[in-house]
Amino acid sequence: MSASVDPPVEPIVEPGGVPTPKPVTVDLFTGSEGTIHLVAVPFAKLDLSVAGPAQYDGKHQLLIKFSGSSDLSHETECAVVGILPEGIVGPAGSKTVALGSWKLANNGGPAKLELTVDVFEAGLFFDGALRFYVRPDYPCAPAYRVNGELQLEHRATINKYLGEAATVLIGTGFDVDPEIGDGLKDWCALRLNLWEHLDSEKLSRSATDDGDDGADSVVWDASLGFEKRTVRVGCSPLDGPAVLIYPAARAHAGTDPAATGTLQFSHVLMIEAPNPQSPDKPFRYELQTRAFSASKPALTVFGLAYTEDFIIAQGNVANLAEGLKLRLDLSLWTAQPLSQGGRLVLVDPVAKGDVVVSDDGSFSKNLVDLRGEEGAKLSDLRAEDLFCVARVPAAVAPSERWAFAHVIGYDEQKFVPLRDEDLLYDFDPGDRRPVDPKLKSPKQLACAVASSELLAIAKGDVPQVARLPEFATPTAEVRGEQLYVSCSLRGPFEYWQKAAPAFLLDIGTQAVQLSGTLVKSNGLVLEAKTALSSVCGKKIKVTASAPDAPDRWRGDAVVKPTARSTSELDCTPALRPPTVTITTDKTIVVECQTLWFPTHPGNKTLFVELLEVDASGDAPVAGVTVRYDYPVGGEGVCGTAGRLVARISPGALSQATKHYKVRVRRKQVNGTIYGVPVQPSDAVPIP
């Protein structure tokens, strides 16, 4: 027998109504025979109404209650669906939202159905009436409309986006006025992120994305208020000098800084609430995303000007909004092309300063005052040897890595890209900005640009820039049981190979020559070592010099690097007063910085002592167990940075009414190191 059965229809039953079943038809063909099994199921009665207004648990759970009558058994599972108000669209364009399955309470008295709905999961962020229907887990049961509706005040929006603006520049300000419903104000925050995206696939960010890299973020909540706020495109929303946000986003996303064109942004409006399980990852729901573009700032003019009294750096940055107050670091340099150096140009800094770009995009800075005493020292400067450099300060565009072109575009046919290694005029490695190692071109690596004069000095060729050979001030530090002396070097590596630099260690009446090794580490460094025991307890002076350095190189005269020395260093081993902190489990953490004392992995040990304070003085407490980060026997050694770290358990403080102190001292070999007494640290109270 072959038969076809129409699928059952599940109509929505209006409140108080009775479902009308559709007849089941069976088609039998000639010659067929068989058996049809029919099961009779009584109609299910379910008549529910919305009971009371919306209730909240104070976080992000919405409590919804229905009550009425039913002949369904107790704890029958019922799937609940919300019908969205007219004009509100759910995920994938749906008109409804699933609210989960819940058990019907029907064991005497009115039938009840109670729901606890996560507002973020359901996306219930609108003002309007939410209606419902319920479908019981019962054979052939239809969907029953719930009588009444639940009024929600969950609107969350802002009054303005920039998507339709005709012209948008970095720093363009606009007032944002939030609107948030009374049902959300007490426990939700509204966040507007101004994200930069790099292609069409990044126009929208995931609502669960917990990263804020590169976002110009404005937040409204119960504590901050829901008043109108001003936002500036691509930079901090605060008044005052610009702090640019977009370079970090571009660098973080791996954008090629040499890319031209407009900057692509999008507003992302989100609503969020605290997450007790993960405080650093709040619940978030993306409400809306609007894309727009902004013109990229561009360096159009940059060069030197001269008057009778001043040498002036001046230029223009286009595509900046009024009031941005963009700050640039400027510096003046001399350049010396080498006749046999190919494109190599040796450069040396002369003066530096900073400037704030005017509202019209222009900037001008007097870098050298030729009238004063400093100007007299520079009277032999020749205009044909000078150029200037522009750099964006790290404080203006905070980020781990970015190139100048991430911030400001420029034509590399007019302005020469320069790396940190080319131009640092101090020797602070902390000022060096790491770059993405995948990037290769000069513009991709450049943290600064040189003015058009440098191309003229190099006769139109893109120069290979290197610093004029120069020593930094030497430094000294202890590693293990050795004293290491080092000195940063500026200038070409090949020159220093010929110069054979070395150290002179002045120890009172004795002078010791230390041959140095050239190390390419965070630039070029000259390094040497000697036994710490040879200088312990003495005053020393370290000088870096290269008396045999060539005064001609690559066919031209070169100024030999001037020797540089440290101030007098007292190498007497000492212990600074320890710092004491108490952890949450009441453990006492003691840290003590040493001076001129052997470090791990040396075996010269220190001892942490617990003292009880009483009227007769500070008395050592016996039997206290001290745990050292680097233990040797019952004592400890310093870490590689010369810092001793130890821990004392809370039980060591036997009586809470007593007062205690800690101190650090050298106990072995009668408190000496290499025969030199080590002064104990001061005793410090335990808080």
* 395: in domain: yes
Give tens-digit pLDDT for 497-553. 999 999 999 998 889 999 989 998 767 899 999 999 999 999 999 999 999 999 998
Question: What is the rounded CA–CA span in Å between residue 109 and residue 105?
Answer: 9
Whether pTM > 0.75 for this model: the answer is: no
User: Under a CB-based contact definition with an 8 Å cutoff, are residues 462 and 414 in contact?
Assistant: no
Question: Does residue 533 lie within any of the structural domains?
Answer: yes
How far apart CA 248 and CA 401 sit, in angstroms, is 7
Cα–Cα distance measured from residue 246 to residue 398, given in angstroms and rounded to the nearest whole number: 10
Residue 3 lies in a domain: no
Burial of residue 495 (CB within 10 Å: 0-12, 13-18, 19+) is buried
Paired residues of 629 in beta bridges: none
**Percentage of residues in the chain with pLDDT exceeding 90?**
39
> Would you state the pLDDT for residue 7?
33
429 and 346 assigned to the same domain: yes
* Average predicted confidence (pLDDT) for the chain: 83
Q: Give the CATH number of the domain where residue 630 resides.
A: 2.60.40
Residue 189 shares a structural domain with residue 233: yes
Instruction: Give the per-residue SS3 of 514-562.
Output: EECEEEECCCEEEEEEEEHHHCCCCEEEEEEECCCCCCEECCEECCCCC
Within-domain flag for 665: yes
Domain count, the chain: 5
Residue length of the chain: 687
Domain boundary among 273, 294, 315: 294
List CB contacts of 148: < 8 A, sequence separation 6 or more: 49, 50
List pLDDT tens digits, range 142-176: 889 999 999 998 888 888 777 666 678 888 888 88
DSSP conformation letters of 450-469: E-HHHHHHTTTSPPEEEEPP
pLDDT at position 239: 59
Residues 197 and 87 in one domain: no
pLDDT at 55: 85
Residue 630 and residue 581 share a domain? yes
Give mean pLDDT, residues 580-593.
Answer: 91
Longest dimension (CA), the chain: 126
Residue 80 lies in domain: 46-153
- Summarised one tens digit per residue, pLDDT across range 657-674 is 678 899 999 999 999 999
Whether residue 636 lies inside any domain: the answer is yes
Rounded-to-integer distance, Cα 52 and Cα 66, Å:
8
Residue 404 DSSP one-character state: H
Kindly tell me if the per-residue pLDDT of 9 is higher than 80.
no
Q: Please check whether residue 483 is in contact with residue 529, taking contact to mean a CB–CB distance below 8 angstroms.
A: yes
Angle at 450 between CA 445 and CA 454, to 5 degrees: 125
Contacts of 353 (CB under 8 A, 6+ apart): 329, 330, 331, 365, 366, 367
| Residues 403 and 317 grouped into a single domain | yes
From 299-313, 591-605, 609-623, the region with the lowest mean pLDDT:
609-623
Q: Could you tell me if residue 9 is inside a domain?
A: no
In 3-state terms, what secondary structure has residue 438?
A: coil
* CATH assignment at residue 546: 2.60.40.10
**326-355 pLDDT, tens digit each:** 999 999 999 998 888 778 888 888 889 999
Q: How far apart are alpha carbons 350 and 78 in whole angstroms?
A: 81
Domain boundary among 467, 482, 513: 467
Asked if 571 and 540 count as a contact pair (C-beta separation under 8 A), the reply is: yes
Q: Is residue 324 part of a domain?
A: yes
Residues 449 and 320 in one domain: yes
- CA 345 from chain center: how many Å? 37
